Amino acid sequence: MDSLHNTPSAAQRRFGLIVIGDEILSGRRQDKHMATLIELLNERGLSLAWAKYVADDPKQITATLKESFASGDVVFSTGGIGATPDDHTRQCAALALGTKTQLHPTAQELIAGRIQSTAEGDPIKADLNTPENQHRFKMGEFPIGSDIIPNPYNQIPGFRIKEHHFVPGFPVMAAPMMAWCLDTHYKDLFHQENWAEQSFIVPKGIESALTPLMERIEANFPGVKVFSLPSVGDAGKGGVYAQRHIELGIKGNANLLDSAWLALRTGTQELGYEIHDIK
C-alpha cells in the first residue's frame, strides 16, 4: 500500500496529469481530463502543477512514466488501460518500475462479476473460460504491488502504484475515479493553503513594459506569483474586453496578497496605464 507518512506538505506536493492517446494528439477527441482534474483539485484546495500529452507509443509512455515515477509527484494517468492492441499503459508502467504485470485477484473478481452481470442469463456469454472473456481479464493485469481504483461506472478497476493513479480514457469513468483517489488517499492535504487569486484588466497593456514590475512584485513578496494573460480582444464581449488588453494578476496564499495586490495596482498606474476591475 502507498503511504503519505513522512511526505511533504500540501505546499510542497505537486499534482501532475498524463493524458495518453493518439486520438487526443490527432484531434479526433478533445481532452476533458485536464479541466476535470483542475476542478477536482481546486475544490479541495489543491492545484495542478503540470500536464503532458503522450501518444499510444510504448517507448514514449515508458519514458514519460520513468520520469514521473522518479519525480515524487502525485500523478494521474488517463487512457491506455483497456485490452485492445493500442492499450500499452499497464505494461509500460511495469516496465518503467522494473517489474512485471500480473492479474490482480480483486480485479479478477470484479471483471468476472461484470461478465456475469452483462451476460443476461446467456450461459455462453457467462462462461469465464471463453477466449473472449479470458481476454477481458487482461484489463486486471497490473504492475506487481498495485492497488485497485474502484470504477463505479462499469466495475472494471483502474490501479495505483507509487502515487500514480491509472484510470480509463473515458471521462465519465475517470472523473469519479480521480475524485475517489483524492478523497481516499490525500484528504490530509486538503485546504492546507488559503489559496487566492486576484486580477484586473489593463487596456492596451504591453507585456514587455509590465514585466519589470511583475518581476519586482515576485522579488519583494515571496510566495506570491504574478501572471499576465494577453488578449487581442473579443468584440463579442464589448467594453475594455473588445480591444487589445492584458489580464494582470497575482495568486498565492491569501494572507500574503494584500500588500502585493496594492503594489501591483499602484505600479501599473504609475506606468501610465488605466486599470479596470473584473466584475
Q: What CATH number corresponds to the domain at position 265? A: 3.30.70.2520
Residues 153 and 47 occupy one common structural domain: yes
Answer for the pair 264, 226: CB distance below 8 angstroms, yes or no.
Answer: yes
Full residue range of the structural domain in which residue 171 is found: 15-189
Report the pLDDT value the prediction gives residue 4, as an integer from 0 to 100.
Answer: 40
Residues 224 and 110 occupy one common structural domain: no
- Choosing from 169, 189, 209, the residue where a domain stops is 189
Half-sphere exposure of 91 (CA within 13 A, CB side): 13
Q: Judge whether 238 lies within some domain.
A: yes
Q: Judge whether 19 lies within some domain.
A: yes
Strand ranges for the chain from DSSP E: 15-20, 48-54, 74-78, 101-103, 141-143, 147-149, 158-161, 164-167, 195-203, 224-231, 245-253, 276-277
pTM of structure: 0.79
- Choosing from 171, 189, 207, the residue where a domain stops is 189
Q: Judge whether 3 lies within some domain.
A: no
Residues 210 and 152 occupy one common structural domain: no
- Choosing from 189, 207, 228, the residue where a domain stops is 189
Residues 168 and 59 occupy one common structural domain: yes
**Looking at the predicted structure, is the pLDDT value of residue 86 above 70?**
yes
Identify the DSSP state of 256.
H
| Residue 218: burial class (beta carbons within 10 Å; 0-12, 13-18, 19+) | middle
User: pLDDT digits over 208-236, tens only?
Assistant: 999 999 999 999 999 899 999 999 988 77
Grid coordinates 510566495 are at which residue? 223
Residues 237 and 156 occupy one common structural domain: no
Q: Provide the pLDDT confidence category of residue 166 given band limits of 50, 70 and 90.
A: very high
**Looking at the predicted structure, is the pLDDT value of residue 2 above 60?**
no
Residues 74 and 171 occupy one common structural domain: yes
Number of folded domains that form the chain: 2
Q: Judge whether 9 lies within some domain.
A: no
Q: Which three cell numbers stand for residue 200?
A: 484586473
The alpha carbon dihedral of 109, 81, 170, 178 has a sign of positive
Q: What CATH number corresponds to the domain at position 164? A: 3.40.980.10
**Looking at the predicted structure, is the pLDDT value of residue 184 above 70?**
yes
Q: What angle do CA 60, 63, 69 make, to 5 degrees?
A: 135
Residues 241 and 176 occupy one common structural domain: no
Q: How many CB atoms lie within 10 A of CB 37?
A: 24
Q: Does residue 143 sit in helix, strand or coil?
A: strand
